[in-house]
Amino acid sequence: QVQFVESGGGLVQPGGSLRLSCAASGSIFSIYNMGWYRQAPGKQRELVAHVLVNGSTYHRDYVKGRFTISRDNAKNTVYLQMNSLKFDDTAVYYCNKVPPNFDWGQGTQVTVSS
């Protein structure tokens, strides 16, 4: 079992930036494809971006060009750099493997508001 601790969220104005971090416990982090997910109020949790074991990345169309996922296997950490934030990006952000069959962490709240 792997546990995740997300951090880096906050309140930001439209057009602003945040960098999220997800620290994973366990020594086998590097063998998993990892993803950032988000859940907006009243909506289902969705996969926003994921990074494969080999470092290849995939981003949903609505964040492409604005968000960048990356990983540091030596630190057991996954990052999500978020630029040009929009109101619709407001959500709780979580990380998990892809597919997400580990327990969810507490997430980190991102609020985009003027």
Distance CA 93, CA 63 (A): 14
pLDDT tens-digit map of 53-65: 999 999 999 999 9
Distance CA 36, CA 20 (A): 9
Question: Over the chain, what is the mean pLDDT?
Answer: 95
Q: How many CB atoms lie within 10 A of CB 6?
A: 23
**Helix, strand, coil proportions of the chain in percent (round to 5)?**
10, 45, 45
Q: Residues 70-85: what's their mean pLDDT?
A: 95
Distance CA 39, CA 76 (A): 23
Distance CA 102, CA 2 (A): 7
Confidence of residue 45 (pLDDT cuts 50, 70, 90): very high
